[in-house]
Amino acid sequence: MTKRVELVFDFVSPNAYLVFWPLRDLVAKAGAQLVLLPVFLAGMHKLTGNAPPMIRDAEVKGKNEYAVLEMERFIAHHGLTNYRMHPQFPFNSILLQRMLYAACEEGRGVALAEALLPAIWEEGLDISDPEAIGAVLIAAGFDAAALLAAAQSDGVKQGLTEATSAVVERGAFGIPTMWVCREGRRDEMFFGKERLGQIAEMLEV
């Protein structure tokens, strides 16, 4: 496949949930491939000096309120009405991200996201309970024990750390960051779920 979209991804990000579904669909429509780039978002923020918008923009009058309005519009436009703010947000996603890294190494990253995103952002999955996470994975056809074991391995831990540094080196500073990659052309970076229209246009060229 000569066209793909790479999505910087951490389960802790509401925008990762929101952008994943419409991006997955438009990439498939374009005959391209969706590739997830697992990172630890807290690590990205440390490397770049960035911070979650609700913290970063807390002193800017009206900005966070407008961000909520834009999110509501995006949810309505794409029919993502099952979305609910997670009761544990902001939760520690390191275990989830290490499992995602391991799944991506096996070529099953997108499938893992498809299984866990609804459980987290629609059903309020208890992130602090490995057994609850494992039950979701087993229901989706994953070997939960193997993924949980992989998440504790030095190789996966180091791999996620290096993957986080790598996307920062490419210019990423937050989620959702996406690259459109086409054979024989430079990779084009986009930031923000509002860029889906531009990505769709670029995939057509």
Asked whether the predicted pLDDT for residue 59 surpasses 90, the reply is: no
Per-residue pLDDT, 1: 57
User: pTM for the full model?
Assistant: 0.94
Q: What is the mean pLDDT of residues 132-156?
A: 97
CB 155 within 8 A of CB 142: no
- Is 125's pLDDT higher than 60? yes
d(CA 200, CA 29): 9
As a whole number of angstroms, the distance between CA 82 and CA 196 comes to 20
Give the pLDDT confidence of 1-23 residue by residue, as tens digits. Answer: 589 999 999 999 999 999 999 99
* Cβ–Cβ < 8 Å for 47, 168: yes
Q: pLDDT (tens digit, 9 = 90+) per residue, 68-114? A: 999 999 999 999 999 999 999 999 999 999 999 999 999 999 999 99
Contacts 24+ apart (CB under 8 A), 168-175: 168/44, 168/47, 168/48, 172/8, 172/39, 172/44, 173/44, 173/48, 173/50, 174/41, 174/44, 174/45, 174/48, 174/50, 175/8, 175/9, 175/10, 175/13, 175/15, 175/16, 175/39, 175/41, 175/44
pLDDT at 53: 82
Please give the residue that has the higher pLDDT: either 157 or 51: 157
**Is the model more confident about 24 or about 64?**
24
